[in-house]
C-alpha cells in the first residue's frame, strides 16, 4: 500500500490532468467516458486480482438480489443481458479451477444432470430457433444460468465458512435495507435510470423482496444481538408489504420444516418474541398508512384473505389465481393434443399463454408455473433432469439443517424457490435463477471446505 501511495509529483500531475480530461469527456460524450472508466477498472482488477472471474459472479448476484428486474434488463450488446454475459464469463474463466472439484460426488452429480439438461436444450434450440427466433434462446437462458452454481461453489470453497458467511450476510443486510424502502417504491422508480432489453423499465426495482426475505429471516434468526432482532423484524415487515401468497406459503412451510428437523431452533425464542412484539406495534400504528404491493394496508387480515383465495374464496389476488388455473389447464390440453408433446415438449419460444397481453402491451408467453412450462416446452425428458437438480439442492440443504440450525436459511431458500416456481415464471428471470444458484453454491462450497457435506 505504501508503494501505491508514494507517487512522484509528475505522476500526481498526470493524474490531475487525466481527471480533468476525463471530466471534459464525460460532459461531452458520457458513453466514451463510461468505456474509459470500464477499461481502467478492469485493468486495475487484472493487475491486483488473479481471480477476476469472481466479479462475474458477485456483480450479478448483488445487482439482481437488490435491484432484481431492473438489473436483469441492463443490456451488454442487444439482446444479450449484462448479467448473463458476466455469469458465463465467471463459468468459463473459473472452469480450470472448479473442474478440480468434480471428483466430489455432489458436484459430479450436479455436473452430469446439468450437462444432460443442456444437451436437451441445445437440441431443442436447433429445431425451435428457426421457427421462433430469439424467443427460443430466451426461454433457454435459465439452463445456461444454472451453470453459475459451479463458480459459486468454487468461491465458497476458496472463501471457507467464515468469509462465505460474511459475504452472504452482507448480501442479506444490503438487500433488506433496500427493501425497507418499499413504501417509497413509486417515487424511487419514478426517479430511477431507465434500462431495457425489449422495453424500457426502471433500474431500481423491488421484485426480489418477497423471495429473498424468506431465507433472510432465518439467516437473521440465527444471529445474536441487535443484528438478529433487527433483521428478523425487518424481514417480517417486508413480507407484510409484498403481499404475496407464495411468500406466505414458503415462510410457513420453512418454519414447519425447520422445527421438525431441528427442534433446537426454538432456542431463538427471544428473537421471535421481540420481533413479534415489534411487528404487532408496527401493524397497529402504521399498518393503515402504509400500502403494500396490492395497494392494501399492511396487516394480518390481508394475509388471511390472500391465503383464503387458495380455497376459492374472494380476496386480494383471487382473480390472478383463477386466471392461472384456467391457463394451466389450457397448457395441459395444448401439450396433450400433440402425440409426442408429453415426451419431448412443444418447443422453446412458443406462446403458452394464448396471446395474453399486459397493460404495457408486452406479450406474456409463460403460464406462471415452471413445472408446467418446462414440461410443456421440453417434455418429460427435460423436466426430469431439472427436477433432479432441484431435488439434489433440497436434499443437500436438508442434510445441512440436520447438522446445524445455522443452515436453516438455505433450506428456506429451496422452499422459496419451489413455491415461487409453482406460481411464477421463476426460471424465466435471472433475478431468481442466478440469485438462487449463487447463494446455494456459495453455501455448498463453504460447507464442502469444512467437511460438513462430505
Instruction: Dump pLDDT digits (tens) for 140-194.
Output: 999 999 999 999 999 999 999 999 999 999 999 999 999 999 999 999 999 999 9
User: With contact defined as beta carbons under 8 Å apart, do 48 and 39 qualify?
Assistant: no
Calpha distance 187→173 (Å, rounded): 22
Structure-block grid coordinates of residue 360: 404495457
Q: What percent of the chain has pLDDT over 90?
A: 62
Selection from 399, 432, 440 nearest residue 153 by Cα:
440
User: With contact defined as beta carbons under 8 Å apart, do 144 and 85 qualify?
Assistant: no
In a domain, 2, yes or no: no
For residue range 27-39, what is the model confidence (pLDDT) as tens digits? 555 556 656 666 6
Structure-block grid coordinates of residue 424: 411464477
Show the beta-strand stretches assigned E in 49-161: 75-77, 80-81
Compute the average pLDDT of residues 93-105. Answer: 95
Residue 414 pLDDT level (bands cut at 50, 70, 90): very high
Q: What is the CA radius of gyration of the chain?
A: 23
Q: What percent of the chain has pLDDT over 70?
A: 85
Residue with cell 464469463: 89
> Do 366 and 258 share a structural domain?
yes
For residue range 76-97, what is the model confidence (pLDDT) as tens digits? 888 889 999 999 999 999 999 9
Per-residue confidence (pLDDT) for residue 1, from 0 to 100: 40
In a domain, 63, yes or no: no
User: With contact defined as beta carbons under 8 Å apart, do 321 and 245 qualify?
Assistant: yes
pLDDT at 9 over 60: no
Per-residue confidence (pLDDT) for residue 376, from 0 to 100: 95
> Do 294 and 149 share a structural domain?
yes
In a domain, 32, yes or no: yes
> Do 155 and 35 share a structural domain?
no
Give the distance between the most distant pair of CA atoms in the chain: 78
Q: 64-68, 287-291, 429-433: which range is least confident on average? A: 287-291
pLDDT at 356 over 60: no
Selection from 210, 214, 164, 175 nearest residue 441 by Cα:
164
Q: How far is CA 432 from CA 64, 418, 447, in A?
A: 8, 11, 23
Q: Identify any residues that bridge with 80 across adjacent strands, giving them in sequence order.
A: 77
In a domain, 1, yes or no: no
| pTM over cut 0.75 | yes
Residue 362 pLDDT level (bands cut at 50, 70, 90): low
Per-residue confidence (pLDDT) for residue 26, from 0 to 100: 59
Structure-block grid coordinates of residue 396: 443437500
Show the beta-strand stretches assigned E in 269-396: 356-357, 363-364
pLDDT at 396 over 90: yes
In a domain, 79, yes or no: no
Selection from 56, 80, 53, 83 nearest residue 67 by Cα:
83
Calpha distance 384→33 (Å, rounded): 48
> Do 121 and 26 share a structural domain?
no
Q: What is the DSSP code string of 398-427?
A: HHHHHH-GGGHHHHHHHHHHHHHHHHS-GG
Most confident of 69-78, 175-184, 272-281: 175-184
Residue 246 pLDDT level (bands cut at 50, 70, 90): very high
Distance of CA 337 to the CA centre of its chain: 34
- What are the φ and ψ backbone dihedral angles of 289, each rounded to 5 degrees? -95, -15
Calpha distance 87→175 (Å, rounded): 20
Compute the average pLDDT of residues 258-287. Answer: 79
> Do 98 and 180 share a structural domain?
yes
Sign of the torsion angle spanned by Cα atoms 76, 435, 232, 169: negative
Calpha distance 106→337 (Å, rounded): 39
pLDDT at 42 over 90: no
Calpha distance 300→319 (Å, rounded): 20
Per-residue confidence (pLDDT) for residue 277, from 0 to 100: 86
Calpha distance 384→342 (Å, rounded): 12
Structure-block grid coordinates of residue 234: 425487518
In a domain, 217, yes or no: yes
Residue 317 pLDDT level (bands cut at 50, 70, 90): low
Q: Which residue has the higher pLDDT, 84 or 451?
A: 84
Calpha distance 342→326 (Å, rounded): 19
> Do 382 and 261 share a structural domain?
yes
Q: What SS3 state is found at 71?
A: helix
Eight-state DSSP code of residue 296:
P
Calpha distance 71→55 (Å, rounded): 15
Compute the average pLDDT of residues 367-380. Answer: 95
Q: How many domains does the chain have?
A: 2
In a domain, 314, yes or no: yes
Structure-block grid coordinates of residue 106: 455432489
> Do 111 and 34 share a structural domain?
no
> Do 23 and 153 share a structural domain?
no
Per-residue confidence (pLDDT) for residue 5, from 0 to 100: 46
Per-residue confidence (pLDDT) for residue 40, from 0 to 100: 63
Per-residue confidence (pLDDT) for residue 309, from 0 to 100: 77
Task: Note down the domain range covering 25.
Answer: 13-41
User: With contact defined as beta carbons under 8 Å apart, do 407 and 413 qualify?
Assistant: no
User: With contact defined as beta carbons under 8 Å apart, do 401 and 116 qualify?
Assistant: no
Per-residue confidence (pLDDT) for residue 278, from 0 to 100: 81
> Do 134 and 18 share a structural domain?
no
> Do 155 and 27 share a structural domain?
no
User: With contact defined as beta carbons under 8 Å apart, do 136 and 125 qualify?
Assistant: yes
> Do 23 and 157 share a structural domain?
no
In a domain, 403, yes or no: yes
Q: What is the mean pLDDT of the chain?
A: 87
Amino acid at each position: 500500500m505504501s508503494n501505491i501511495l508514494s507517487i512522484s509529483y509528475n505522476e500526481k500531475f498526470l493524474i490531475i490532468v487525466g481527471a480533468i480530461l476525463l471530466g471534459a469527456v464525460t460532459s461531452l460524450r458520457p458513453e466514451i467516458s463510461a468505456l474509459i472508466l470500464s477499461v481502467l477498472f478492469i485493468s486495475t482488477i487484472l493487475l491486483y486480482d488473479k481471480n477476476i472471474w469472481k466479479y462475474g459472479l458477485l456483480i450479478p448476484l448483488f445487482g439482481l438480489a437488490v435491484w432484481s428486474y431492473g438489473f436483469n434488463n441492463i443490456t451488454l450488446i442487444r439482446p444479450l443481458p449484462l448479467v448473463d454475459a458476466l455469469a458465463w464469463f465467471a463459468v468459463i474463466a473459473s472452469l480450470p479451477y472448479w473442474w478440480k472439484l468434480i471428483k466430489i460426488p455432489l458436484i459430479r452429480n450436479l455436473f452430469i444432470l446439468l450437462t444432460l439438461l443442456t444437451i436437451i436444450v441445445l437440441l431443442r434450440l436447433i429445431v425451435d430457433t428457426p421457427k421462433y427466433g430469439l424467443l427460443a434462446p430466451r426461454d433457454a437462458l435459465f439452463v445456461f444460468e444454472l451453470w453459475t452454481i459451479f463458480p459459486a461453489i468454487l468461491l465458497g470453497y476458496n472463501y471457507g465458512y467464515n468469509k462465505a458467511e460474511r459475504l452472504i450476510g452482507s448480501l442479506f443486510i444490503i438487500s433488506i435495507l433496500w427493501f425497507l424502502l418499499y413504501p417509497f417504491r413509486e417515487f424511487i422508480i419514478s426517479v430511477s435510470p431507465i434500462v431495457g432489453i425489449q422495453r424500457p423499465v426502471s433500474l431500481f426495482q423491488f421484485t426480489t423482496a418477497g423471495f429473498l426475505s424468506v431465507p433472510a429471516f432465518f439467516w437473521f434468526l440465527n444471529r445474536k444481538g441487535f443484528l438478529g432482532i433487527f433483521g428478523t423484524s425487518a424481514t417480517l415487515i417486508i413480507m407484510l408489504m409484498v403481499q404475496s401468497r407464495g411468500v406466505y406459503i414458503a415462510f410457513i412451510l420453512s418454519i414447519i420444516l425447520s422445527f421438525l428437523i431441528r427442534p433446537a431452533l426454538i432456542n431463538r425464542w427471544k428473537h421471535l418474541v421481540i420481533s413479534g412484539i415489534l411487528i404487532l406495534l408496527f401493524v397497529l400504528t402504521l399498518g393503515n398508512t402504509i400500502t403494500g404491493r396490492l395497494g392494501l394496508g399492511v396487516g394480518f387480515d390481508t394475509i388471511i384473505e390472500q391465503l383464503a383465495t387458495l380455497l376459492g374464496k374472494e380476496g386480494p389476488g383471487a382473480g390472478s389465481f383463477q386466471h392461472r388455473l384456467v391457463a394451466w389447464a389450457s397448457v395441459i390440453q395444448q401439450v396433450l393434443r400433440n402425440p409426442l408433446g408429453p415426451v419431448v415438449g412443444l418447443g422453446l419460444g412458443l406462446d403458452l399463454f394464448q396471446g395474453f397481453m399486459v397493460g404495457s402491451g408486452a406479450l406474456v408467453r409463460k403460464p406462471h408455473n415452471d413445472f408446467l412450462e418446462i414440461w410443456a416446452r421440453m417434455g418429460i425428458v427435460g423436466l426430469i433432469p431439472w427436477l433432479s437438480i432441484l431435488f439434489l439442492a433440497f436434499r443437500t440443504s436438508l442434510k445441512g439443517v440436520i447438522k446445524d440450525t445455522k443452515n436453516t436459511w438455505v433450506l428456506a431458500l429451496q422452499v422459496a424457490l419451489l413455491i415461487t416456481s409453482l406460481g411464477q415464471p421463476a426460471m424465466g428471470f435471472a433475478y431468481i435463477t442466478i440469485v438462487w444458484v449463487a447463494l446455494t453454491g456459495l453455501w455448498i462450497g463453504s460447507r464442502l471446505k469444512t467437511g460438513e457435506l462430505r
